């Protein structure tokens, strides 16, 4: 099986590439820039079985007006080019999987893939626009899946690489009031989930990529403190987070409760269904 991977240099892309190569897939990496022609993308996609699009600037950061432009352009323009190339291909991939985010959901409800209670902020609007472009590739020859990620945790990268150091020094604590729900997934389950989608060709549309058991920031903080044998009495007030990250603080302070109903219904088995199990693996030596 030939897989074209767009956005292979990051934490998730590197993990997916390693997993696919280990499982004897052929992996072709593709970088799409403003100067990249549709014709060159078509040439890369022809005779590929699967295209995975992870392209996009890092969502964690201060969202200045200029950076919000970058966040949108880095996702929407590359995705539009991929979709145009898929449509123009004589032998298009049978599966197109586009990254997405639980940031589309509102704070008031518990969400599965049938939920349409969406937020109206910058991130939710970005996700809706991103998915709308991606689903333009849907046809009788190509199915489209949009994988809405929660926070991705794993060893040696991702969000946990930034969270662990202060906790290990005994400086960890809740963020804001701590009542916000965190929907998350272990990197190993995420890459296995992608393989599951590839090999279950009847699945299409929205798929939540989150562990079955979301938890509050306070619960997460307590688990990390217990497992690391460190105090967690410090906290970062919400106003400090907003001062540092501006509008981008929504990623850390907003509550997003999403469950993976499609994956569970289809029989996917999570190796790390609870944060306790995931965190123990992440901090285990060896």
Summarize pLDDT for 43-93 with one digit per residue, the tens: 999 889 999 999 999 888 889 999 999 999 999 999 999 999 999 999 999
Ramachandran angles phi, psi of 213, nearest 5° = -125, 85
Name the strand (E) or helix (H) holding 181.
strand 181-182
Q: Write the pLDDT tens digit of every residue in 212-225.
A: 999 999 999 999 99
Nearest partner of 127 among 149, 111, 112, 143, judged by Cα? 149
Q: Write the pLDDT tens digit of every residue in 108-149.
A: 999 999 999 999 999 999 999 999 999 999 999 999 999 999
Yes or no: say if 94 and 136 are a contact pair by the CB < 8 Å rule.
no
| pLDDT (0 to 100) of residue 210 | 98
Whole-structure pTM value? 0.95
Considering the four listed CATH numbers 3.40.50.1970, 3.40.630.10, 3.40.50.720, 3.40.50.12160, the one that applies to the domain covering 2-152+184-210 is 3.40.50.720
Q: How far is CA 97 from the centre of its chain?
A: 12
Instruction: Record the tokens describing residue 73, joined without a space.
Output: 């352009």
Instruction: Record the tokens describing residue 237, joined without a space.
Output: 């007030």
* Average pLDDT over every residue of 19-28: 97
Rounded Cα distance between 157 and 8, Å, is 14
Our CA angle for 201, 206, 209, nearest 5°, is 90
| Residue 234 DSSP class | E
Rounded Cα distance between 75 and 133, Å, is 10
Query: Is residue 97 very low, low, confident or very high in pLDDT (cuts 50, 70, 90)?
Result: very high
| pLDDT (0 to 100) of residue 37 | 95
pLDDT over 70 for what percent of the chain? Answer: 99
Nearest partner of 272 among 254, 286, 257, 284, judged by Cα? 284
Among the listed ranges 12-16, 155-159, 210-214, 272-276, which one has the minimum average pLDDT value?
A: 155-159
Instruction: Record the tokens describing residue 57, joined without a space.
Output: 């600037």
């Amino acid at each position: 099986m030939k897989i074209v991977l767009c956005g292979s240099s990051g934490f998730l892309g590197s993990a997916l590439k390693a997993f696919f190569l280990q499982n004897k897939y052929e992996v072709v990496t593709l970088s799409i820039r403003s100067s990249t022609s549709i014709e060159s993308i078509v040439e890369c996609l022809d005779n590929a079985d699967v295209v995975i699009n992870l392209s996009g600037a890092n969502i964690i950061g201060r969202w200045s007006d200029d950076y919000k432009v970058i966040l949108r352009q880095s996702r929407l323009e590359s995705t539009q080019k991929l979709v145009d190339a898929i449509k123009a291909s004589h032998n298009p991939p049978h599966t197109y999987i586009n990254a997405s985010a639980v940031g589309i959901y509102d704070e008031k409800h518990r969400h599965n893939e049938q939920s349409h209670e969406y937020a109206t902020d910058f991130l939710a609007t970005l996700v809706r626009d991103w998915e709308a472009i991606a689903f333009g590739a849907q046809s009788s020859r190509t199915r489209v899946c949009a994988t809405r990620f929660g926070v991705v945790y794993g060893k040696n990268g991702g969000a946990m690489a930034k969270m662990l150091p202060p906790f290990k020094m005994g400086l960890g604590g809740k963020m804001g009031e701590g009542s916000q729900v965190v929907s998350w997934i272990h990197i190993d389950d995420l890459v296995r989930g992608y393989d599951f989608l590839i090999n279950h060709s009847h699945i299409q549309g929205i798929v939540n990529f989150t562990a079955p058991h979301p938890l509050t920031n306070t619960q997460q903080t307590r688990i990390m403190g217990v497992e690391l044998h460190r105090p967690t009495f410090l906290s970062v007030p919400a106003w400090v987070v907003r001062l540092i990250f501006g509008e981008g603080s929504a990623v850390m302070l907003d509550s997003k409760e999403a469950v993976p109903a499609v994956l569970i219904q289809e029989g996917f088995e999570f190796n790390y269904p609870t944060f306790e199990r995931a965190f123990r693996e992440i901090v285990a030596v060896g």
